[in-house]
Amino acid sequence: MSAAEADGLFTRAPFGDDIAVLRARFPREVWPAHRNLGQTARFWLDRHGMFRELGDMLKTGAVEFAEGRVEAKPFMGWLGPRLSLFLNELHTHHHVEDEHYFPVFRAADARLGRGFDILDADHHTLDALIHELAATGNALSEGLRGHGDVARPSADLAERLTRASNGLLRHLEDEEDIVVPLILDRSEGGLGL
């Protein structure tokens, strides 16, 4: 994997057919009705949908707050539980993928190895962003309690949530384009899921 691929989460184009080698056989429009889209895959896709929705909600809320369109107290009451949920669930989701699912998928089809290398690098990039978002959220909370600056962490949170959301969208699309066609090709039972 090149350095550009490892760092390209925020700039890369969608995976080509050289990486998503089964996508042409199993395009997205056939997924919902395919007989091999089982419970595990449906749950996994639902989690991805939750990350998309919550990430967009957090990004929009942080931008509105940074631009002064939302009052501090209601915003922090709204932000705290949602940001914690987002960061904790994303971290857990990636851990489960890295430790359990990706090794199974990688072993099932060696042609997908390069894609999983890129997705693994994405997880490291996103993990660093999770820590940055947590620290920035804490700094904003401290500032709002009168223990520091508010403007800088507010702007930082909006910028980092926008960046994280954009990168996460790219990652989720690419991951789905590799994993779901593999599941449809081999079935969950055939993969041992």
Kindly state whether residue 37 falls inside one of the protein's structural domains: no
162 lies in a domain? Answer: yes
State if pTM tops 0.95. no
Q: Is residue 33 part of a domain?
A: no
User: The CATH number of the domain where 103 resides is what?
Assistant: 1.20.120.520
Residue 1 is predicted with a pLDDT of: 42
Give the domain range for residue 182.
Answer: 45-188
Question: pLDDT tens digits, the chain, 193 residues: what are they?
Answer: 444 444 589 889 999 999 999 999 999 999 999 999 999 999 999 999 999 999 999 999 999 999 999 888 899 899 999 999 999 999 999 999 999 999 999 999 999 999 999 999 999 999 999 999 999 998 888 888 887 777 888 899 999 999 999 999 999 999 999 999 999 999 999 999 8
Residue with tokens 């990636």: 94
